[in-house]
Amino acid sequence: MSQENVELVRRGFEAFNRGGRDSQASEALLAPDVSWEVEIGVSDFDGVYHGRAAVRRFWQTFTAELEDMRIEVEELVDCGERVFCVTHAVGRGRHSGAVAAGGTVYPVFTVRDGLIVRYQLFADRRKAIEAAGLTE
């Protein structure tokens, strides 16, 4: 089952990248009561968001100044019901047209019954590894 979880997360990233912040394909992979937890050190975004609508608002706010945003996935690690990821975001400024590349971040997805029930986003790799139940 855990390799299926990795594939579900991979499909989620692919759908998001095809459809942008309003991608219904990636949103459909979220449990209706998903917990979306962000800890990246940016006060405008850090916090806990509950449910699909709150996640949609998070992405709309996060990408408000960007066009052509995509998440580049460097690594996906099977951790049973969790999937540890290494990613970074790339986009273009909506008004400036300048390329905007975010630093590396570490999402941890928890998957149950074929849906993402929890998403944790960390700027600190050690925290993400701990949340995923891994050891370095």
**Domain spans of the chain, in order of start:** 2-132
Predicted TM-score of the model (pTM): 0.91
| pLDDT tens, residue by residue, 49-92 | 999 999 988 888 888 888 888 899 999 999 999 999 999 989 88
Task: Write the single-letter amino acid at 55.
Answer: V
For 97, counting Cβ atoms within 10 Å of its Cβ (0-12 exposed, 13-18 middle, 19+ buried), the class is exposed
Percentage of the chain beyond pLDDT 70 is 94
Q: Pairing state of beta strands 106-112 and 82-93? A: antiparallel
Given its phi and psi angles, is residue 12 left (phi above 0), alpha (psi -120 to 50 degrees) or beta? alpha
CA distance 103 to 71: 11
Q: Does domain 2-132 have CATH number 3.10.450.50?
A: yes
